[in-house]
Structure formats: structure tokens, C-alpha cells
A and B are shown apart, each in its own frame.
Chain A
Amino acid sequence: MDFNELTLISTLKLLEEGKITSKELAEITLKRIKKYDSKLKAFLYVNEEWVLKQAEMADQRRKEGKAGALTGIPLSIKDNIHIEGHPTTCASKILANYIAPYDADVIERLKTEGAVFIGKTNLDEFAMGSSTENSGFFPTRNPWDLERVPGGSSGGSAVSVSARLGLGSLGSDTGGSIRQPAAFCGVVGMKPTYGLVSRFGLVAFASSLDQIGPFALNVEDLALLLKVIAGPTPKDSTSAEITPPDFTKAIQENLKTSYRIGLPREYFAEGLDPEIQKTLEEVIHILKKRHTLKEISLPHTKYALATYYIIAPAEASSNLARYDGVKYGFRAEAKTLLEMYKKSRAQGFGKEVKRRIMLGTYALSAGYYDAYYLKASKVRTLIKEDFDKAFQEVDLIFAPTTPTPPFKLGEKTADPLQMYLSDIFTIPVNLAGIPALNLPVGLTSQNLPIGAQIMGPNFKDDTVLSLAYQLEKEISLKFIPPLIKE
């Protein structure tokens, strides 16, 4: 058996047919983590004993005929999602010793279906960053080129899937934190519609933008993971009261459906890497065979980055006020309460987190609220309306996920604005709340993954997945990084 050839769904078949046990699968995964993760640094936490115990329970469950949709499947989880009794650090020193006291809703759902959690993955501290270099512990490296970043903030999750250290993962996407690392690592990653997946148990960064979503090796696997985690919950007041469609069924049924697809002028403009441009043009050529393509305009795209970097830090400055050294997390020695707050936060938070708290506090402070936060919230309306108008003419939008291929470690750390620009094509989606997915579609001349982004109207996650599934079949490429072929 070649582990590099396995997918989540093909592995489920092997488990069902008894050709492999959950325990064997867990052991192989742990062995692979030992072999590759010293180089990649995708994991913050792997507890072998716990992994094997879960796997044994999965085998037992299958033997009793009580297997769920994911029984025995090894998954990794971004370390800002709670699994009861295990650490949630958010890759921050301020939460270095924090043990989650309860399960996130998504974890509860995965447990019900029998998934095996193999560990918690690295991220930019509190999900703030685009390269996983802002982790408070260590940076993660891209399996396609160890000198390059895996993207971020869910870099560890993207790498764990790309290097087959597990067969899927959950991340969170506030401004591209699932799609951008998925593009950089050559895996499928999706930000579902805001409200489709419960955020209960996800550590909050920017609450009007945050969304949990899956990473997978292909679209079919992704659809199954989304099917398991989607659906309403009373524990998240922003959860949408809709019954999600059966995504697995939808992608099969829509295998030949033809769509009207919009190509946004603003995304195929100056600044887009020529190799990405060329690959996407080839993909557009493939799309033309079945679908109706049309150039569209999303005229406020150029304001999305500034809008996002006011709104997200403003919400973050409020959400992160809870880290004060009182009830949990790092506490610095101090004589007064105020001194304790300030010292705990100053020593516990990293540089980028402090930068964003400062930005957000400023944007919300008396005298500046109207000029920054309120202004940005109004421009957000215009960005949202751009999409509303576009979706009157087209079913889906096709665009690049990132303006460049993965960059080198250290290349953008000195200039925060340069780093922020790597999210320029993913941010508008979060501001509008709509679903979007990254599909790997090619490789650069330097053998680095290229991703395409498919966006859809709110709650048309099934349509987004359906086009991705069609396209994946047409392109028919395997994205196995050279590191794990050795």
C-alpha cells in the first residue's frame, strides 16, 4: 500500500473491507509524523497514547457494526479549536498551558462520526498572519520547498494534509487562512458560508469574519468533511438555521451541470504572477467547454484590504481583551491589577498580535471610530453589494487564490503591509460572508503549487463544490510534494 496514493474516502473503503485497521492507520500516521515533521514542524501537539486509544476505540466500534461516517480516519485540528482535555494554545505563549475544558461543536460532530484526532497543528498566533511565521513557538515549512512558507494562518493544517500526515484537517478562515495555505501547499481547502458551520469552541479572532472549514486531498473528501461539520446549533448565535444539503450527493448529481461563471477583471490584473496567470488561463480554456464564461467587475475590490485591516483588528482588540492573566492563560508577576494586565499581555502576546490590538484599539477609540471603523463598515457594504450584483448574472466566480506562489521564509516579515497583501484575493470573500474554495490546478516552473479560487453566493456551498469536483476530474493532476516521494 502506497500511503501517498490514499485519500480519505479510499481509506474508508479499506477500513470497511477490513484490509486495514484504524490502529494500523494511526501507527502509520504517527510514524510518518516522526519521519517528516522534524523538518516540516506542522504539529504543536501529538499525543501518541491518545491517538492509539482513539484508534482502538474506532476498531471496536467498527467491529460492533456501529461505524460512523469517519470511523478510524486520522485528522489533524488547527490549534485554535477546542478538544476537551487537550491543549489549545493558538500558537501563543499567553495560552501555552491552556487545556480546553470542552469540545468545539465541530469536534463533537467529528467524534460522533468516529474520527481519530492525531494532533493540533501550528498557526500564526491567534490566526493572525499569512505565513505561519507568526507562531509563538516555531514556523512551519512548505513540503514543496522547505525554504518557503506554507501560507497561513492555518499553515500546519495545510502541511499536514499535503504531506499525508493525516487524511484531512480543520482550519479557520478569517481573511483567507484556509484558502491561502491550501493554495501554497497544493491541497483543497474551503471557507464555507458564514454561519454554515458552528464556531462554538473556536477561539475568536474577528467574530464577523471567522469561519471553520475543512482541508482535504480532493473535493470528494472535502465534501464529506463539510457534510459532517455543517449544520445549525443553539450554541452559536450566528449559526444559520438551515438544513445543509448532502454535499457528497450534490457533487455527483452535478457532474455534468453547466454554470455561468464570472471572471472578475480586478483579480486578473497587474500584480498577478505571470505563471499563475498562464495556468489559470489554461483552466479557463477547460471551463469554456461546458460552461458560459463572462468577464465581470467587482469594482470595490481595491478597498477590501484596507477595509479588512480595520475591521478585523477592531474585532480582535475586543475579543482579545479577555487575555488579562486573571482566569486563565499566562500571568506575569505584578503588584497591582493594572500592572498585571499590562505585563501579562505585553509578555504573553507576540509582535503581530500586539500590532493588531493597537490598530484595532485606535480604530475604535473616541474621535477615530467614524473615520476608521464606521467608514470601513460602510465600504464593507459596497464590497458585499459588488458580489450581490455579480451573482445576479453568474452562478459562480472563478479567480486566483493568491497573487504569487509561496514566498520564502523571512521574505515579508519585516514589512507588515507586504505580508497583508498576500491575502488580497481571499479577503473580499470574508467581508461578504460567501463560500469559497481553493483547488490546486497546476505547478510553477519551480515546482510550486498554483491554486484557483471558486466563489459562490451565500449558502451555495454545494454549487462551489460541484464546479470544483468537475474541474478536478478534468485537470486530473496529483499533488504529491517531492519530500514525501523519497
Chain B
Amino acid sequence: MPLTLDEVKKIAHLARLEFSEEEILLYTQELSKILDYFQELQKVDTSSVSPTFHPLKKKTPFREDEVKEFYNRKGLLENAPELKETSIIVPKVVKAP
């Protein structure tokens, strides 16, 4: 088993997910099995191979950095879970002085 329960808990935190103890156990087993399968790749000699991150050999296109107003501001805001006029409300992120 390549993964421990504590490692799975750590990954869950990094991914901003939370699980019950039973779920942690299940994910540890499942993910370990999948990671075992990935070991197959270690057999491939890639010492002189460069990585492919993208299928097209394309340079990042540049354009002028012009500010353009999006035509449907209302549509964007209407999807917010909690709204006050044009501000999105979230739980308090700063401590009172």
C-alpha cells in the first residue's frame, strides 16, 4: 500500500476537501490500488525524453492589454451564492483588531 491514512488526510486538505473516517479508509485503499497501477510507468526509460505538456507546438499568442467591459455583468453576479448589490459576501476573513 503506497499511501497511508495520514497522507490521504494531507492530500484532502491540500485539495480543500474533507472526508469522514470511513471515506478516508476507502480512498486510501482505492488510491493505493490506482497508484500501484501507475508503477508500470517506472519501467519506461525516459532519461533522454523531454516532457509534452501540450499537444500543439504553439507559442503563447499575445494581444494588447486592453480593458473591455463584459456585456453581461448581471448574468455573472446572479450566479453568486450571496450578493449585496454588486459585492459577493463570504465568511469573515479578517480578525477584528
Q: Is A357 engaged at the interface, CB distance under 8 Å to the other chain?
A: yes
Please classify the interface of chain A as helix (H, G, I), strand (E, B), loop, or mixed, using the class held by over half of its residues. helix
Q: Give chain B's interface secondary structure class.
A: loop
B96 at the A/B interface (Cβ < 8 Å)? no
B90 contact set on A, CB distance < 8 A: 326, 337, 340
Of the candidates B11, B51, B58, which one forms a contact with A381 in the assembled complex, judged by CB atoms under 8 Å apart? B51
Query: How far apart sit A337 and B95, CA to CA, in the bound complex (Å)?
Result: 12
Cβ–Cβ contact A101 & B34, under 8 A: no
Within 8 Å CB of A343, what residues of B? 18
What are 16 contact pairs spanning A and B, CB under 8 A?
A102-B70, A195-B55, A237-B61, A238-B56, A327-B79, A330-B81, A337-B93, A343-B18, A365-B14, A375-B41, A376-B41, A377-B51, A377-B53, A378-B49, A381-B49, A417-B33
| A407 to B41 Cα, complex, angstroms | 28
The A429-449 residues at the B interface (CB cut-off 8 A) are 431-433
Q: Tell whether A309 is near chain B: CB-to-CB under 8 Å.
A: yes
Q: Are B81 and A102 in contact (CB under 8 A)?
A: no
Stretch of A47-55, A282-290, A300-308 on the interface side: A300-308
User: Once bound together, how far apart are the Cα atoms of A300 and B81, in whole Å?
Assistant: 47
From A234, A331, A354, A377, contact of B63 by CB (8 A) = A234
Number of contacting residues on B, CB 8 A? Answer: 50
Whether A336 and B91, one on each chain, are in contact in the complex, defined by CB atoms closer than 8 angstroms, is yes
Docked CA distance A337–B88 (Å): 13
A259 in the interface, Cβ–Cβ < 8 Å?
A: no
Q: How far is the CA of A380 from the CA of B51 in the complex (A)?
A: 7
Q: Does A255 touch B at the CB level, under 8 Å?
A: no
Query: Residue of A at shortest CB range from B73?
Result: A101
Which of chain B's residues has its CB closest to A377's CB? Answer: B51
B57 to chain A, nearest CB (A): 10
In the bound complex, CA of A327 to CA of B75 (Å): 12
Indicate if A379 sits at the interface (CB-CB under 8 A). yes
Q: Is B80 a contact of A328 with CB atoms below 8 Å?
A: yes
Instruction: From A195, A234, A310, A317, give the contact of B56 (CB < 8 A).
Output: A195
A36 at the interface (CB under 8 A from B): no
Inter-chain CA distance A302–B40, complex, in Å, is 9
- Which residues, 27 to 65 on B, are CB-close (under 8 Å) to A? 27, 30-31, 33-35, 37-38, 40-42, 44, 46, 49-56, 58, 60-61, 63
Cα A379 to Cα B46 in complex, Å, equals: 7
In the complex, what distance in Å separates the CA atom of A306 from the CA atom of B88? 41
CB of A85 within 8 A of CB of B75, answer yes
* A355:B30 contact, CB within 8 angstroms: yes
Contacts of B93 in A (CB 8 A): 337
Interchain CA distance A102-B31 in the complex, whole Å: 37
Q: Does A148 contact B (CB under 8 A)?
A: no
The distance in angstroms between the C-alpha atoms of A381 and B38, with both chains bound, is 17
In chain B between 60 and 94, which residues have their CB closer than 8 angstroms to a CB of chain A? 60-61, 63, 70-72, 75-76, 78-82, 88, 90-93
Across the interface, which residues of B come within 8 angstroms of A340, CB to CB?
A: 90-91
